[in-house]
């Protein structure tokens, strides 16, 4: 049986990683364009970047850190969304700026807490969230 899937969403354009005294700072940028095929029809007559895509942008930025920190077989799996709120819409032409403060938990090996604030290019807070992730180190490319 043949299945068709949409191409993966490229949810970050750039990612920067820096160690801090408290853990790691991950910053990422995603430019929202009106011709993105994922936006077509997401609210008729009012195109908006879906909140779940903001979450995916954050997740991709953290996955980038996991690969850099733990090697190419590392996968950051979202375990828990502790809190999430959306404050301002992201529209075509906006730039999503993501700031994640990551701390590896002492009480749970391979567990990471992410405190995240997302802003539009104009500085308005667009989302904030706290996530728990699990770092798995996999051998090979199993697409799981």
In the block, residue with structure tokens 């969230």: 129
The C-alpha atoms of residue 7 and residue 20 are separated, in whole angstroms, by: 35
Q: How many whole angstroms from its chain centre is CA 80?
A: 14
45 contacts: CB under 8 Å, gap ≥ 6: none
Q: Active-site residue 42, yes or no?
A: yes
The C-alpha atoms of residue 29 and residue 20 are separated, in whole angstroms, by: 20
Instruction: Please pick, among 42, 59, 64, 70, the residue that the annotation labels catalytic.
Output: 42
Report angle CA 104, 18, 75 to the nearest 5 degrees: 50
What positions carry a catalytic annotation? 42
């Amino acid at each position: 049986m043949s299945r068709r899937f949409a191409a993966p969403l490229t949810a970050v354009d750039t990612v920067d990683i820096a160690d801090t005294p408290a853990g790691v700072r991950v910053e990422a940028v995603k430019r929202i364009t009106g011709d993105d095929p994922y936006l077509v029809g997401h609210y008729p007559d009012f195109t908006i970047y879906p909140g779940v895509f903001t979450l995916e942008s954050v997740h991709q930025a953290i996955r980038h850190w996991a690969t850099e920190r733990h090697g190419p077989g590392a996968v950051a799996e979202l375990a828990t969304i502790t809190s999430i709120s959306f404050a301002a819409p992201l529209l075509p032409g906006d730039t999503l700026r993501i700031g994640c403060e990551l701390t590896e938990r002492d009480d749970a090996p391979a567990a990471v807490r992410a405190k995240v604030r997302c802003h539009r290019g104009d500085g308005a807070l667009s989302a904030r969230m706290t996530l728990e992730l699990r770092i798995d180190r996999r051998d090979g490319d199993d697409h799981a």
